[in-house]
Amino acid sequence: MTSYFSELKGQAVVVTGGSKGIGKDIALTFAKLGANVAISGRDQEALDDTLEQLHIHNPKCIAVSGDLSDIEQVRKLIDTAAEEFGGIDVLVNNAGVNIAKPAMDVTEEDWDTVLDLNLKSAFFASQAAAKYMLAQSSGRIINIASQMAFVGYIKRAAYCSSKGGMVQMTKALAVEWAKSGIRVNAVAPTFVETEFTEKQFADQAFKDDVNSRILLDGLSQPRDTSGAVLYLASDLSNFVTGETIKVDGGWTAI
């Protein structure tokens, strides 16, 4: 019987924003399969807590603190993981932020904060990881985009722009690096029930609006996104590149 995902054991995986929410679930999913996982984040307490959980499954996992809006810290993360693990096999660009404001209230600082972390850092993390992937003629880059790359929503002008850019960046890098054995794909989740969205869902009108747009019952859970990431990181997706998998419960089907 085929042992699915067994090829991920011992692979070097970097998950940006891996200490909380979706990123934490993704990191734990890889660690449970025996992958060597490096996570990043700005909250040292959360990093330490998540690393402790990762070590239950694989003591080789590491955590690197830093603000990925600073490109030098992005490069430090990738280089540290590559030095520790002997290369980079999978990069998951998950770190992201949203500043929910009406478009007329968005400041230049707001715009730069969202675009710098959501899009700019993802590009330069991909560039840094590709240095190692090109040398080994293999690698997987998986960008955590959003359904907001495909639909609009109120108070998310900068966020939608950043995630739309990420989907196009995914295609561009996939085209450029395909012949070098690097597959670049993205996952586009809907609103996911995490500690980040808990406050948003406290607004019943907002929660009702979200639920009215999702065809399947209930809110998305972190494992829904992790499952799509796992597929794209595995041999099951060997003939897939430049693609974005929507994990949106049918929101964008209408």
Give the three-class secondary structure for 186: strand
**pLDDT score for 1:** 43
What is the CATH number for 103? Answer: 3.40.50.720
Q: How many domains does the chain have?
A: 1
Q: Please give the pLDDT value at position 206.
A: 92
Q: Is residue 206 situated within a structural domain? A: no
37: in domain: yes
Residue 77 lies in a domain: yes
Q: Exposure of 127 by Cβ count < 10 A (0-12 exposed, 13-18 middle, 19+ buried)?
A: middle
Query: Is residue 253 assigned to a domain?
Result: no
Any alpha helices (H) in 36-186, and if so which ranges? Answer: 44-57, 71-85, 108-115, 121-136, 157-177
**Residue 250 identity:** G
Q: What is the mean pLDDT of each run of 10 residues along the chain (254 residues)?
A: 86 97 98 98 96 98 97 98 98 97 98 98 98 98 98 97 98 98 98 88 92 93 98 98 98 94
22 in a structural domain: yes
Residue 20 is part of which domain span?
9-192+221-247
Does 153 participate in catalysis according to the annotation? no
Of 4, 153, 159, 231, which one is the catalytic site residue? 159
Distances (CA, A) of 165 to 69, 146, 161: 16, 11, 6
The pLDDT of residue 2: 64
How many angstroms separate the CA atoms of 150 and 163, rounded?
Answer: 9
